[in-house]
Amino acid sequence: MGATRRQFSSLVVGAALALALPAGAWAQASGDPAQLRIGFQKAAINLVIVKQQGVLEKRFPNTKVQWIEFPAGPQLLEALSVGALDFGLTGDSPPVFAQAAGKDLLYVGAEPSKPLSSAIVVQQDSKLSTLADLKGKRVALQKGSSAHYLLVRALEKGNLKWGDITPIYLAPAEARAAFEKGAVDAWVIWDPFYAAIELAQKPRLLTTGEGLSGNSSFYLASRPFTEKHPQVLGALFEELTRADAYVQSNRKEAAQLVADFSGLSLATVHLFISRRPKSPVGPISAQIVADQQRVADAFHQLGLIPRPVKVAEIVWQPKAAQLASKQSLAQK
């Protein structure tokens, strides 16, 4: 995978140090940036809570914090790669497609996997009942999203090849419209869109991601921002982890904050949150890199990305000088 055990160990230690600093220590490490542009999706619960509570604006009073919503990860990472964003959250597949396309960005943190938060659904009266039944069918999904990898794994389980289905690449809103009209036979989707269609139409479930795809969530940042403002990433991770603790302890209030922002019904938000595990932000461990490499290898073997990629090459590893600075801060 292009990284030694020693490099992985350094990566984990460095990220752990970054996440362990006391609140406020990061902001003292260097000057605050003039702006912080954050890309997020409705599924990014921790980011939505941080946004709704306004904690970054209070923590960085001299920084203009901009929040930009995207329908899915591929669009978010495209903005990140061209300099229109500094930081954002996506699922497992978008970074692989971005790296294969030569986009310059870095994995900087991760949340635990959420396999129950993605699914393949069919209409209630559909004749499809098994994954093998997808052969010859039209399947809607967002290209390059976490749904893409779930479908790859589901076809494997059903003893099908990628060429056995007709993928219909649509963003979530367009995919839902196509699903409701019967223009596609199945839809591969993630929360909260999964929860919304589940409550609205009660579709039948072919599979969730359990046993197939971890549906992991990754925080990514632009290389220039990461190199210039590592202290801001540390502050972000502190606040995101604090937001997750708030969600776990205050489900009703958290659901209301998410509903107020997203326009989703409270019932949809409660369903979405109910199958979401505790999701503090953690470092990119060797195991996470290995799991993500399997995602990348699967896409390359199917010819869905133009070249093989080594995930470890774009995982943030703080420089030795930064680590020494962080360690001294943590000891104060």
The pTM assigned to this predicted structure is 0.81
Clarify whether residues 228 and 106 are in a common domain.
yes
pLDDT at 63: 96
The enclosing domain of 272 has a CATH number of 3.40.190.10
- State yes or no: pLDDT of 15 exceeds 50: no
Burial class (CB in 10 A: 0-12, 13-18, 19+), 159: exposed
Q: Which residue range is the domain that position 64 belongs to?
A: 5-113+216-331
Clarify whether residues 66 and 131 are in a common domain.
no
pLDDT at 5: 35
Clarify whether residues 17 and 106 are in a common domain.
yes
Clarify whether residues 203 and 220 are in a common domain.
no
Clarify whether residues 153 and 121 are in a common domain.
yes
pLDDT at 317: 85
Could you give the CA distance from residue 271 to residue 282 in angstroms, rounded to a whole number?
25
Q: Of 166, 191, 208, which closes a domain?
A: 208
pLDDT digits (tens, 9 = 90+) for 37-88: 999 988 899 999 999 999 999 999 999 999 999 988 899 999 999 999 999 9
Clarify whether residues 104 and 231 are in a common domain.
yes
pLDDT digits (tens, 9 = 90+) for 276-313: 999 999 889 999 999 999 999 999 999 999 999 999 99
pLDDT digits (tens, 9 = 90+) for 110-143: 999 999 999 999 999 999 999 999 999 999 999 9
| Residue 318's pLDDT band (cuts 50, 70, 90) | low
Clarify whether residues 142 and 261 are in a common domain.
no
pLDDT at 319: 60
Clarify whether residues 277 and 134 are in a common domain.
no
Could you give the CA distance from residue 261 to residue 294 in angstroms, rounded to a whole number?
35
Q: Of 173, 208, 243, which closes a domain?
A: 208
pLDDT at 6: 38
Clarify whether residues 315 and 221 are in a common domain.
yes
Clarify whether residues 201 and 225 are in a common domain.
no
- State yes or no: pLDDT of 228 exceeds 90: yes
Average pLDDT in the 263-270 region? 94
- State yes or no: pLDDT of 327 exceeds 50: no
Clarify whether residues 108 and 142 are in a common domain.
no
Clarify whether residues 153 and 107 are in a common domain.
no
Number of domains in the chain: 2
pLDDT at 324: 37
